[in-house]
Chain A
Amino acid sequence: QVQLVESGGGVVQPGGSLRLSCAASGFRFFNYGMHWVRQAPGKGLEWVAFIEYDESNKYYTDSVKGRFTISRDISNNTLYLQMDSLRAEDTAMYYCAKDRTAVARHFDNWGQGTLVTVSS
């Protein structure tokens, strides 16, 4: 059974940093692309970042380029999102999501999310 469990959210001041983690189990982590998707309060879903199954490419939405870094550690089946220079508009629930196949770019399993609040 696939499980994705996010952690690392919290309250941070503008300009600060957070690192989100997503612990994956129940599937061959190294075989699948992984994503971060967020939902700001009262808003819809927004794709944030993607790392290919073999780490050959990483992609970001424009608003986070240069501030966020996606990475993965296959030795402990964990996905990360390093978030620097945080802004109020980054406040959201952050979900990690798994590609349906190695290169599907749509998501068949999601975590429950971790909440990030950027506020002074």
Chain B
Amino acid sequence: EIVLTQSPGTLSLSPGERATLSCRASQSVSNSYLAWYQHKPGQAPRLLIYGASIRATGIPDRFSGSGSGTDFTLTISRLESEDFAVYYCQQYGSSPPLTFGGGTKVEIK
């Protein structure tokens, strides 16, 4: 089973600032099969990125993903008020179990 470790646990930033979130895998994620989700309280999670760097339908271009192997990054270029949420990475490169990282909370400073 691939274990995903996200850092930092919490990121305190102001609107307009850049957010950089890390996701590190315990072993290489094949084909860069890594996705990122945004989750707000009381709402369904939302797919942001798949294939490490491909934005899902309707996702603004301030969200970008990068990385390969064991190290992946989600960047939000300029935070808007609606971006304050918890973000999860998920790998799907290996046979189930599919695994999520523990999450990074992006909060307003």
Contact = CB atoms under 8 A, between A and B. Distances in A.
Do A and B interact? yes
Interface of A: 35, 37, 44-47, 50, 59-62, 95, 97, 100, 104-108, 110-113
Contacts of A37: 45
B90 to A, nearest CB: 6
Contact of A113 (B44, B97, B98, B102): B44
Interface in B62-109: 86, 88, 90, 92, 95-103
Given A37-B45, A110-B44, 15 more contacts: A44-B88, A45-B39, A45-B88, A45-B90, A47-B90, A47-B97, A47-B99, A59-B95, A60-B97, A61-B97, A104-B92, A106-B47, A106-B92, A107-B35, A107-B47
Contacts, number: 64
A110 B95 CA distance: 21
Could you say which of A35, A97, A105, A106 has the most chain B C-beta atoms within 10 Å of its C-beta?
A106
Contacts of B50: 100, 104, 106
B56 interface: yes
A45 B44 contact: no
A106 B33 CA distance: 9
Nearest to B103: A44
Interface residues of B, number: 25
Contact of A110 (B45, B96, B100, B103): B45
B99 to A, nearest CB: 7
A100 B97 CA distance: 17
Nearest to B51: A106
A95 B47 contact: no
A39 to B, nearest CB: 8
A59 B96 contact: yes
B10 to A, nearest CB: 13
A32 B1 CA distance: 24
Nearest to B95: A59
